[in-house]
Chains A and B, each alone.
Chain A
Amino acid sequence: MFKRVILEDWAGMIPIISFVCMFGVFLGATIFTLLKSKSSVKHLSHLPLDEDSNDEN
């Protein structure tokens, strides 16, 4: 089973496969992210700041 993995010619396919994987993840993450509601994004992005009203020293 591993013969083709070791065959040096196989290396030519690696750029394509790695690009497909990367692009798939990137595209998926981007689509899901763009589909997030504005209110959800606003809520999440403000989480670190929620407590700041009484955080001043």
Chain B
Amino acid sequence: MGKLYDLLLQDIRFEEGLNACMNCGVCTAICPAAEFYKYDPREIVDTIQTKDEEKTEALLKSETIWYCGQCMSCKTRCPRGNTPALVIMALRTLSQKLGYFTDSEKGRQQFAIKRTVGENILKYGYCVPTYAVDPKMHPEQGPIWEHIFNNIDDVMDRLGGNLKKKGSGALREIHQKNLDELDKIFEVTGGYKLYGEIENYSEKKAGEMGLEFKKEGIDNEYFRHVYTCNSDNHGK
């Protein structure tokens, strides 16, 4: 048994996700990501099942493990009670811990996700609040979104939201007590440690790529690179 396989075994999601696969392909058949990406969850599970160290390392450094949308459809279908999505989660975490994620384009995006969504949750108590989805960063949202973003107070008033205010209602301010609780959860469960590892490995990668890196924020070359770079080589 390989060292990497041993590390995966320490992840409870891995233990839960992989019993024994008979390669029926039902997970790939139901998988929305497999319909568009060069992605085959059955193959990933089958590869891991071989416990081959080299192949596992290649997976941890690959684009493949980042295509899963974590919809968990595979869980609902597997006749052997496996959950490929849980195996993928364990692989992703290991890739983050070992720094292998910076070897792939999709993996490097972990840094962008950490600096945006990952920090939003701690700052606001929301992952994707309206005010954090800047149209400049999200042109795909179109002009209506831009209007909403620029007139957020008016729009929220009309829709009956409670933007950044105390009390109940959509997008209300999250009480400091709850934010402190989130902080504690990240501390205890190793979330902060993982964030730190994503930061460190990304900084190292930025150095290797000769790109400017800043300790905070999104105004730096490396962030812009991982956020916008698209080899367009992910689809079928």
Determine if chain A interacts with chain B: no
